[in-house]
Structures are given as C-alpha cells and as structure tokens.
Amino acid sequence: MESLLRLEKICKTFPGVVANDHVDLEILPGEIHALLGENGAGKTTLMNCVYGVYRPDSGTIYWKGRPVEIHQARDAIALGIGMVHQHFMLVPPLTVAENIILGLPSPREPLLDLKSASRQIRELAQSYGLPIEPDVPVWQLPVGVQQRVEILKALYRQAELLILDEPTAVLTPGEVEELFKVLRAFKEKGLSIIFISHKLEEVMTISDRITVMRAGKVVDTLPASRTNPRELARMMVGREVFLHIEKPPCTPGEVVLELENVRAQSDRDLPALKGISLQVRAGEIVGIAGVDGNGQTELAEVIAGLRRVTEGRIRVLGKDITNCMPKDIIDLGVAFVPPDRQHMGLLLDFTVSENLIGKSFDRPPFSRYGFLQRRFIENFCDGAIRSCDIRTPHAQVPVKLLSGGNQQKVVLARELSLQPKLLVASQPTRGLDVGATEYIRRQMVEARSAGTAILLISTELDEVLSLSDRIAVIYEGEIMGIMSAAEADLQEIGLLMAGSRAHVATGTPQTA
Ligand SMILES: Nc1ncnc2c1ncn2[C@@H]1O[C@H](COP(=O)(O)OP(=O)(O)O)[C@@H](O)[C@H]1O
Ligand SMILES: [Mg+2]
C-alpha cells in the first residue's frame, strides 16, 4: 500500500539538544499509528516538523509519495494534515463555530457566513459522532469537549491525517473511552491517525501499529498485535522495566501514624472525612484506594496540618499532632509528596539545588552559624542527582525546565533525604512516564523496607495494588474496608470503591 505520509531522515536540533535524529516514519492510509516514547523523546518536535511549526534541519517529508515542503501550518492544512496540540489553540471568548472557521475564507466574502458554517459544523459533528453545540463560547465547555472542537476544526479543513498529541492526558477514563470510539469511526472512514502517548496500555488498545521513539531516534515500528506492554516498555526506556516491583516481605514495626475517628470539612464546607480510623506502622506501605474526590486530598491535608480537624485525633509516634502547625509536623519526621508537584512540591523558578535543600537549608549540615555551607550543599546535590537519576545538566538549572518525571524525582529525593519516619505520598506517579514511575515506586519500596512508614494515596488502583502491604478503600470520606494486600480481591476492592459494603460486612457472596 502506498504511504500517506513518509518521513525520511528527519533531523531537528535545538541549542544543546538533538530532538530528532534521522527519524524515518511511514503512515499508511486508514491506520491508527501510535507514536510512543517517554517525555522528551522528540515526539512533539517531530510532529511540529510535519505540521510546519518547525522546519527540519534536514530530511524529507513525502505526502502521497511526493516530496513536499511544509513552511507553515497553512501548508500542512492545505495538504490535508490536521493537528490537535497538547495545549489547545482555541480562542476562549469565540464560539465553537467561530473557532472552527477562524482563518478560513468565507464563501460570501467579505461577509462572514456564520449561519451556514454552524449548520455545516453540526452536520459534520453528527456524521462523525462528535455531538457539539456550535453557538456556545468555547470557554464554557469542559476540556473534553474543547478537544472535540479542535478535532472538528481539523475535519472541517478536510484532514486526511489527524495528529493528536497526548490527547488522553486531559481526559477522564470515560472521556478516553469516548475518544477511542471516535477514532475508530475515523478509521472506518479511511482517515489516518497519529496518536501520541507515553501510556502503554492505551497504545496497545487503540493502535494498529506502534512506533517507539527514544532520545530523538526511532527504536522500531511494530504491529500492536505482535507486541506487548513489557516489550514496549523496554524499547521506550532502553532497558528492562519491571512493571511489577519486587518487594521483600513486610516486617511492620511500631505504629507511626494513627488516625482516630478523624473528621474534617471540605473547601465547600461539606463533611469530607467522616470518622477515619487508620494506623500505619514502621516498615509498611498502607495504600488508600478510591475514586478521585472521595476525601483523599483532605486526608493528606489533615495529616500535613493544612486542614483543620473538627473531631478525632491524629498521632505521630504517639505524639498528638491534631491541628498542629505544618512545620512542627515536619520536624517530627513527616515527609510529603504532594499531589500537585508544580504548585505545592516545588519552587519552579528556583534551581534544582535550591529545591533539593528547600526544607533543610536553615539547619546543619546545610548551614552553620547562619551561613550556608556551599561545599556541603554542592556535594549533597550532586549526590542526589546521581543517585536519583535526575536528568539535568547540573544542579543550577531552574527546576521548571525539567520534565515532569525529573521534577518528581527532585521532590522525592528531597523528602527521602530527611530520612522521614513517615512519608505521605499523594499521586506520586501521576503523569509520569514508565521509567520515572518505576523509579519512584522502587524508591518508595526501598524506604519502606528501610523502616519508613508510608501512606500511599493514589487513584491508580494498579499502583496501590503493586506497592501496598495493606489496602484501605476510601469512599465518601469513610474507610470502607482494610485488607492485607496478599488477600486483596480486585472485585471486592471495586465494590468497596463504589460504596458497597454490605456483602463484605456480612460475608455473604454477592449475587451478580
Ligand atoms: N522549542 C524548543 N527549544 C528548545 N528545546 C526544545 C524545544 N522543544 C523541544 N525541545 C527539546 O527537545 C527534546 C524533545 O522534546 P519533545 O519533542 O517535546 O519531546 P516529547 O514530545 O517526546 O516529550 C527535549 O529535550 C526538549 O527539551
Ligand atoms: Mg510532547
């Protein structure tokens, strides 16, 4: 079959980085082709070369067999290439229809023919199963629907190839499912799709063929039917990746964290925690499983001293910390990985080094008699960068320039360097690629085996299952059940997560 798009030896460098290094890629008509790679592998850059955002330094782009020059997005669109960027490029105050026809000549120049455009858009949307209301301002739409507008914008321009850059990153699981349905419908109609992702499962589910990129190069292109997540992970990361972490047996020690009938209100002043009782011992990981928004945030916050406890007690190593100041709680040896590293975990404009010592700069050995101990700090940071595999040219780079995975490694390195008695980790691997995820999980297991008590709060059930020694399921601010991971039954956890407790309490089997 003749290819729709073919890239030959595409090279693109930025100062100090080879983003694309002699990349070959072939897209066939009517295929869903995944471009898989870790953050920084060069996927977006490559597609920006195809879409005319960048000019490649060298290499050739063939469209339907003919070499083409793409100088700007307009050229790509004229050929039939559409791209939905990771960050949408819609104009919020304009309506859906206005956004879609923006920049196109009107059939009734100089008059804008919004009415007929609206009608056409509605028809187009209908035929592709993408319901949309053309006359609503874009800012009023949820993210999933805005994405739909971007897709329609490309279809309206008669795209034959649709490039989607990490489209699922902003979607809920339900929305992902809907998007996949739409993509399959596109394929039925003969459209080709380039689907960019770093999520293995997703790529396996939706694509016909998969091209893996690593460090600017193509590793290989494979049919999805002839590969598996493990092989893909190895190709992405360049070494064997352990999707399942080996854990030495758990030898729990003294009770480090104890919550006794803890209650707290949400930001909207509704009951968020309704009498939580829970213990975490030294050397064990207790995982909190649950659907997002069932009190997880509030739970982490009451332990950190960031939210008022209205009833009940929280103790760390027997000391009552209920409603204590955050600083006093940290001083007891409690460390935190916050759910939102960009806003709470890091000072983005500060350097890697400043972030690494951020919590302890004012005490020995980092400072003495009020003076920062530069030499010590330098050695400490270089050591952390090396041992935690933080990919940065050096310690003086602003942390905002690091990839998400490397930012999270900075957070974890800082928190674990304090050798905490208790680590409260919220969504520690959210948004991270496979390599960084594996690294972070391994570090947590290591800390646990060295005696740290860990409370893991994660909405990713497989993370909770693979790391925890005990699992507690939270639902609407209540612990529905606690079980040892060895005895955990996936179906039972699923039921508890959905708020069903009856059959567990009575022990009677659930009838389907
Ligand atoms: N505009 C730019 N200026 C400088 N470096 C860039 C630019 N865009 C991307 N890079 C660098 O190029 C490499 C590839 O980035 P990118 O294509 O965004 O990767 P991916 O989309 O696979 O995460 C990274 O090292 C990134 O930091
Ligand atoms: Mg990208």
The pLDDT tens digits of the residues spanning 335-364 come to 999 887 777 788 888 899 888 887 777 777
For a mutational test of ligand 1's pocket, the pick from 17, 20, 46, 55, i.e. the residue with the most ligand atoms closer than 8 A to its C-beta, is: 17
Residue 426 CA to ligand 1 center (angstroms) comes to 28
User: Residue with structure tokens 């060298």?
Assistant: 58
Cα–Cα distance measured from residue 432 to residue 246, given in angstroms and rounded to the nearest whole number: 20
Reply yes or no on domain 255-506 having CATH 3.30.160.160: no
Which residue is closest in CA terms to ligand 1's atom 17?
42
Strand runs labelled E in 234-365: 255-265, 271-281, 285-289, 311-316, 319-320, 334-337
Which residue is closest in CA terms to ligand 1's atom 5?
14
Residue 219 CB contacts under 8 Å (≥ 6 apart), including other chains:
212, 213, 235, 236
Residue 315 CB contacts under 8 Å (≥ 6 apart), including other chains:
257, 258, 260, 321, 322
Strands 17-27 and 5-14: antiparallel
Contact 457, 288 (CB under 8 A): yes
The per-residue pLDDT for 506 is 39
Contact 139, 93 (CB under 8 A): yes
Residue-averaged pLDDT of the chain: 89
Check whether 483 has a pLDDT greater than 50: yes
Cα–Cα distance measured from residue 425 to residue 281, given in angstroms and rounded to the nearest whole number: 15
What confidence category does residue 214 fall into, taking pLDDT thresholds of 50, 70 and 90? very high
Residue 19 CA to ligand 1 center (angstroms) comes to 6
Check whether 43 has a pLDDT greater than 80: yes
What letters, b where the CB count within 10 A reaches 16 and e where it falls short, cover 259-272?
bbebbbbeeeeebb
Check whether 110 has a pLDDT greater than 70: no
The per-residue pLDDT for 155 is 92
Which residue is closest in CA terms to ligand 1's atom 21?
44
Which residue is closest in CA terms to ligand 1's atom 11?
19
Residue 294 CA to ligand 2 center (angstroms) comes to 31
Which residue is closest in CA terms to ligand 1's atom 6?
14
Check whether 503 has a pLDDT greater than 70: no
Residue 39 CA to ligand 1 center (angstroms) comes to 9
Contact 336, 304 (CB under 8 A): yes
Token pair for residue 435?
Answer: 């390599």
The pTM of this model reads 0.66
What confidence category does residue 508 fall into, taking pLDDT thresholds of 50, 70 and 90? very low
Token pair for residue 411?
Answer: 């957070």
Residue 85 CA to ligand 2 center (angstroms) comes to 9
* φ/ψ of residue 121, rounded to 5: -65, -40
| CA atoms within a 13 Å half-sphere pointing along the CA-CB vector of 123 | 7
Residue 40 CA to ligand 1 center (angstroms) comes to 6
Which residue is closest in CA terms to ligand 1's atom 4?
14
Give the closest ligand to the alpha carbon of residue 40: 1
Check whether 312 has a pLDDT greater than 80: yes
The per-residue pLDDT for 245 is 76
Fold of 5-237: Rossmann fold (3.40.50)
Check whether 105 has a pLDDT greater than 90: no
Q: How many residues does the chain have?
A: 512
Residue 4 CB contacts under 8 Å (≥ 6 apart), including other chains:
27, 28, 29, 63, 64, 160, 161, 192
Check whether 123 has a pLDDT greater than 80: yes
Which residues form ligand 1's pocket by a CB distance below 6 Å?
A: 14, 17, 19, 37, 39-45
Write the pLDDT tens digit of every residue in 130-178. 888 999 999 888 778 899 999 999 999 999 999 999 998 777 667 788 8
Give the closest ligand to the alpha carbon of residue 42: 1
Domain with CATH 3.40.50.300 in the chain: 5-237, 255-506
Residue 74 CA to ligand 1 center (angstroms) comes to 22
